[in-house]
Structure 1
Amino acid sequence: MPHETHISSIVVHVRPDCQAAAVARIAALAGAEIHGESSEGKLVVVLETPSEGDILAHITAINEMPGIVATSLIYHEIDSSPPEET
């Protein structure tokens, strides 16, 4: 069975007064990397997860963080690689 990696990009809108804390919380999520941010409270986040369900779990977790206004899924790709031989 091929191994899947789900790579997705999300834009997170956060209240500017909560931005530093939100950046730290998001960066602490497994498979999450912040690739850009603006002083107006917009973050570009890339997620690398093993399943679609994990993407949704990350988005839910981010939406529940203090100061988050909205999270939008922008891009989703499934990378399927053949199983590794042992």
Structure 2
Amino acid sequence: MNICGCLVHAAPGTVTETRARLEAMPGAEVHAESEDGRLVVVVEDMDDRKASDTIMEMHQIPGVLSVTLNYHHFEDLSQRDTARGPQAGELS
């Protein structure tokens, strides 16, 4: 699991189009928007695409002034499941 929280700053007059383009990106979800063009976006890895690739693509959206990574969480779920061992009611 790879989750990134980003702040995207859009130029005045481009916020609506920028938000639509961000929401159309697989693995990206806009959670908040301010009056001055800042958007809070969460980006996750997809089966066929890394979050870092999506973030880099955000920089290419017309009207985007900046993309700042504010939060990052990575967890290797396959190792966590293996490390936990059998639980009550499970066969080992």
Q: TM-score range by the shorter chain?
A: 0.7 to 0.9
Structure that is richer in strand per residue = 1
Q: Which segments of 5 or more consecutive residues in structure 2 lack a partner in the other structure?
A: 82-92
| TM-score, reference length from structure 1 | 0.81
Q: Which residue of 1 aligns with 2:85?
A: none
Q: Report runs of 4+ in structure 1 exceeding 4 Å deviation.
A: none
**Aligned-pair Cα RMSD in Å:** 2.1
May I ask how many residue pairs the two structures share in their alignment? 79
Displacement of 1:67 = 0.4
Which is higher, the Rg of structure 1 or of structure 2? Answer: 2
Q: Which segments of 5 or more consecutive residues in structure 1 lack a partner in the other structure?
A: none
| TM-score, reference length from structure 2 | 0.77
Amino acid at match of 2:60: E
Residues 14-70 of structure 1: per-residue CA shift (max 9 Å, x gap): 01200000101000111111011111000000011159x822211221110110000
- In 2, are the aligned partners of 1:14 and 1:68 still within 8 Å (CA)? yes
1 or 2 for the larger relative contact order (CA 8 Å, sep ≥6)? 1
Q: Identity, % of aligned pairs?
A: 32
